[in-house]
Structure 1
Amino acid sequence: KLAEVKREQGNDLYSQQKYDEAVRCYTEAIELDGCNVAYVNNRSACYMMLGNYRAALDDCRLALQKDPRNAKSLLREVKCHVALGDLGSAKRSLQLIRELDAQGFAQARLHKTEIARLLKTVEILEHFLGEADKAYEAQDYEKVIYCMDRVLQHAVSCTRCEVLKAESLALLKKLTGAREIADNIMRAEPTNADAVYVRGLCFYYEDNIEKAIQHFQQVLRLAPDHPKASVAYKRARLLKSKKDEGNEAFNGGKYEEAFNIYTSALEVDPRNNLANSKLYFNRATVCSKLNKLNQTVEDCTTAISLNEDYVKAYMRRAKTYMDLEMYEEAVRDYECIFRKDQTRENKRLLDQAKLALKKSKCKDYYKVLGIPKDATVDDIKKAYRKRALLHHPDRHSNASEDMKREQEKKFKELGEAYNILSDPKKRMRYDEGRDLDEMEGCSSGPNPHVFRTFFFETPGFSFSTNANSFQHNSGFVGFPGGFNFQFR
């Protein structure tokens, strides 16, 4: 008859692995002869090969309605339950088969080996599911993923297990894998609240808080009592609110208030690395405004530890290192910045830091004279005159040997500084960091004529021989024997 013809056609197509076409043939056979359990079982087998275990399970149930003691249908039902992760139903179906065997049904006895294998499989899956639950409670998400991978080898269509794996991946910030699983589930089940929740988590840990809030709201519309989404929604809103408040305070120049708000925001969710990285950077920016430079560095360092690609945090830390005159650290940061983003400006900043480092290894002659870097020639002369009088060894002739050596050293440094900074060409080379090691003054003593020029060849400069004068007898150039010098 025609139903048998359709069954034969379906069998041929099944053997050729053309399962979709085979399903159509078996469906036609069932429509022609709805009482034949074999047709339904065959279509169920096709659905299983297509990975459509829910449709396969529906056919198993249809077959069992017609023949409740059909061991083959029961066995296939067990496999569907296992594939879908419904271990309780799988065990009940296995129990029915064992009861049939005990009652002497030959068909059940034929499948003893497979029944034993399936019982063992269910036992193993129950073990891994139990371990996964304990690991989740302990926040050991790597172990949860391991357990889910073991379960999904058999429960290949268990959405619950896929979602748990995806959630664990998201909590470990492995967002690409988490999103891929969630998207696959949503293609098949667009209203799967758990999958929408995982997508929301992905946006949340990407610091796309607006999108995350939208997803958590969608979950709560689909499942108003979803506990995880409820907690995540409140946390995301609080984090956004705190960050917005901090930004508003900062933009309004209320830096202490902004500092406190950002600090409070950092307590909302220690697990959100990207969001917290930005909060630490924001707080570092506030600290720079408050001149808390060491904490600026500390907060930038924490921001970078949470997001190693955070160029703005590197930039802020590098600038702060420059302000702190920690030039080696600044060079390291600017080198890292330039590797990540090779712009002209970043190259300029790197070269500037390298120059500062190079100059720092030579004496800072501006600091020696106590003058700013834009000091005029007159400023340089005045500063030298004042400090030379202060540190000339004759002024400290009665001091201890250690003090004499210290003052002598400072006096020589003053001569070096004046020698370089009073000469426009040398000063320009010094400021540009060119040939520092070769420049007179970086490695040698002062010009012996500097002091003589200032104090013996300067018109109007006077000497005194009163009781408060100092007798020169040290042999330093500039104080010929017999002269007394009045320090003022």
Structure 2
Amino acid sequence: MNALADPGEAGSIWRTEKIDSFQKLAAKAGLEENEEYKRLITLIVAETTSLEQLWQAQKVENDAGMAAYGAGAHGKAFHHFSEAIRLWPSNCIYHANRASSALKLGRADVALQDAKNAMKRNPKYCKAYLRAGACAVALQRPSEALSMYQHALLLKPKSSKAKARAGCEAAARMCEEQARTCEQEAASALHGERPPMPPAAPSDEAAAEQLLSAEAMLQACPDMHAAICAYIEGLILCQRYADAQNACLPLLPGVDRLYLQAEASWRGGDAEEAHTSLEAALALAQDSSKCLNLRSLVARLLQHERAAAAAREEGRLEECIGECTAALQTTEHFSCAGLHCHLLYHRGSAHAAAGHSQEALGDCSAALQLNPAHAECLHLRHTVHREMGSYVEAYLDLQRLRTAAPSWPGLLQLMEEAATLSLAHRSDLRASAKAGNVPGGYYEVLEVPVQASAQDIRRAYRKQAAVWHPDKWLNAEKDDVFRAQDKFREVTLAYETLGDEQKRCMYNAKNLWY
């Protein structure tokens, strides 16, 4: 640690001498009673006193920091050194002292920045370079550490020469160790020795924890091959397939890189790209079991996808639906949300073309549960809703599409058409209501008026459920049992819609018969 710098005390002496000299010159000139002189000397003395107080305050803080550091209270020392820096930001010694306490606290990154700040304030301050070298070693940056220690040697301080030489030797050994590690990692990456990814999906919480852990490891060791691989695997399990592909770029070339690119590709919905990556990986390591196993799975998926595409092109819609279903069943236990969205979209499109509107809506909704911003599914669901006459839902799908893909071709025109159809549909409903042609719908099922409160609806549901619950009809005739089951489902659906404020608003907006 370092004592207070001499320049502070020297400055105090210099200021005192200058004031004394100024007063003597004024007395010699007979200006003691001059008002301007009195004002000026009062101001100079006040400013000098303020500087003296500031100097004393930062000295006290630095001394307290040194005492705390010596007692092993490094957190307290860090606080005192920070106060000293606040009072005298340009003092290189205070920055170097705080770097020492930060290093003891395990914050090598903070310590390195403080050491560099000390170097900026005094490029010839040897201890700043020694601090920076120690911090770089702690951060596993031997090349940077070696540079710092070599610079300290060039300054030739007798008291620090031994430390600088020892630091150079330690940094050089670490450089050699890192070089050997890099060679081993390069060989491992080339042959793909890293274990394969688990096929099953962990829970969302477990996937997030794995990603956060990998990010922390990567931050500590940004160039480590294993850390980058773990980070990419975490991204894939969190369904961030595009980010995973980008993260593969800095990986060492070899089987591991190609394998992870393939994992991100097929799980994201691009089996063709995955197959290409796996073929390249197997050209480097023909007996790689993880690549062989994954290629077998991807080949089956490609077979189903190509058969589905050919069937759709030739108008064999049921066959297309069957192939998509088979592909989904092949990967039902895998973590591959992107692929499932892709397959559900194509199956939903085939259902829509075959006139299976409900099945198409089901596939679109299932895909959008996995990825709410899947633009193709939003557009397909809009089309199906429109063909079914559900114009409000069609318009809402387009609003979601505008958020997910604002540059979707012809989106504004589609929204204008959907809005026009929705308004026209409402007008027709109003006319039908006036003619008495529209039934009461869910309100009639629960036997409540349109203006019923949420409490009225809940009370009505309990009343109807008590009558039509299947348990009440266990000993009834078969036809009565079926009728009660249908009625109970109807009552439940009515309550699920009218008991939810948002769903009730949408229901009223669509039907508008009141």
TM-score (norm 1): 0.45
- Which of the pair is proportionally richer in helix? 2
Larger radius of gyration: 1
Q: Greater relative contact order (Cα 8 A, min sep 6): structure 1 or 2?
A: 2
TM-score (norm 2): 0.43
